[in-house]
Structure 1
């Protein structure tokens, strides 16, 4: 793969994760302003489903695939992950939330070893362990970790299970069909919660944030689908760690949240782990890691 192609794919992934972070930034503004996280999650799934339905080109007979227990369980995991991360964002800096959230790849890694008999290389294991150390520095377990960080870790655990279920379903259905499954099933799961909470007042800015939160997340996930069509998942997955760069920058610009020195070290280790995994996967020289 040429340097130009690699840069094009990396740029696509960075745009995707930045759109997702913009959606979560809007979500943090909403939840910090008193809007119920479940209402934000419900609106995100519903608006995302409506926005992406024309692009997904779902055929009626394909909906039968959504009765597969693996598809349903996968949607449950991502629904729980979204609700948990929005709850965490209510009180925690956005960069710290995403730092704790990246416990997900470790969960997926362990599940793949147990259930799929995968045998990762020693380098992959070391880099993932380095990333987990970074997560521990962000979370600071036993040193005053807050409830918000607990929900961020819970979101990461659910996301790791979601990644594992995605791996199980890889090749079984079109990526856009799989994306729509989580949006449609998530909308159904959250309907009782979304309709039972108090709606925000007729405030134009709040409703604008709700729409932007949903569209940012939907657009970002759709661009990730496009990126996965451009390259193997083994190349795209480590690039997702660039989300921490966007999260840190937006956290500083929008909320004035500067990570403390320990959390900053942890975020750096997580990013290095992702870039190192990319270098190991593509067989690049170590100096490019």
Structure 2
């Protein structure tokens, strides 16, 4: 039987997605002010790691997690995803970026079935195929596709893989260990790449945006880790579509960005297919 999706799970994932979009919106504002995307990504990891450290509850035994290749791989996936999406946000509207980013649930669905042996129904596979059609309407490969949208798609591939890695490790490590490990490893990995673009000083606005970007992303990812402890990755994946609504609303309110008619159609297709996939995930499977 496919697991039922509780209102608590639904609310947690929707809140997580909204927090992550808020973090990315702050990151977009920083890049619009001239900050390098890689520096913004590093600041997000480093600041969140410093804030999280006193609350992580790390024990000496848990320090071994930082040399576990699985933990390192998972951290590198989210580093790649955040670096790519911030690069995309520098030049593209936030809703369009998240539209391209939504190859992620498709990647998560496929990998969770292949690697984690989680159930993959034909109906949900069909809905994800429809969703991919919506992604193509937003990205428009071969029809004036911008470099930024290529980064958005690459970010989605990283993030879909990250979701599966999170589900893979969720039962082996505490949520706070998983979150702190990705933040600390991300900060260390990105540091050498942002020395040249490190600002000499920060004003109040820049400091506030860095804090919002770091804490929004960290809080959203912490909620996702907790959800993944008891919910299969291919069930969580459709819920991630709520991110599109948050991205469209926040993009319009904060930046005045509104996708064109083709992109809006693509976003609508993605959202409807995500809702259909969510409905299929909650249906009981009839026994023969």
TM-score by length of 2: 0.90
Listed as ranges, the gaps of 5+ residues in structure 2 are: none
After TM superposition, list the pairs within 5 Å mapping 1:49-128 onto structure 2.
Answer: 49-116=49-116, 120-128=120-128
Q: How many residues align?
A: 281
Listed as ranges, the gaps of 5+ residues in structure 1 are: 285-289
Aligned counterpart, 2:279: 279
CA separation of 1:46 and 1:249: change in aligned 2, threshold 3 A: same
Q: Which has the higher helix share?
A: 1
Supply the distance in 1 between the matched residues of 2:234 and 2:150 (Cα, whole angstroms): 29
Checking the alignment, whether the CA contact within 8 Å between 2:17 and 2:220 is kept in structure 1 is: yes
Aligned counterpart, 2:38: 38
Supply the distance in 2 between the matched residues of 1:220 and 1:139 (Cα, whole angstroms): 25
CA separation of 1:163 and 1:230: change in aligned 2, threshold 3 A: closer
Supply the distance in 2 between the matched residues of 1:229 and 1:172 (Cα, whole angstroms): 9
SS of the aligned residue for 1:195 comes to coil
Checking the alignment, whether the CA contact within 8 Å between 2:46 and 2:183 is kept in structure 1 is: yes
Identify the range of structure 1 (202-211 vs 234-243) with the bigger mean alpha-carbon deviation.
234-243
Is 1:255 matched with 2:252? no
Aligned counterpart, 2:9: 9
Aligned counterpart, 1:175: 175
Deviations 1:15-69 (A, max 9, x none): 2211111111110011111101111111100111122223332212111022121
Deviation at 1:160, TM superposition (A): 2.0
CA separation of 1:15 and 1:41: change in aligned 2, threshold 3 A: same
TM-score by length of 1: 0.89
Checking the alignment, whether the CA contact within 8 Å between 1:35 and 1:200 is kept in structure 2 is: no
SS of the aligned residue for 2:39 comes to helix
Aligned counterpart, 1:287: none
Supply the distance in 1 between the matched residues of 2:149 and 2:25 (Cα, whole angstroms): 16
Is 1:225 matched with 2:228? no
Supply the distance in 1 between the matched residues of 2:147 and 2:234 (Cα, whole angstroms): 33
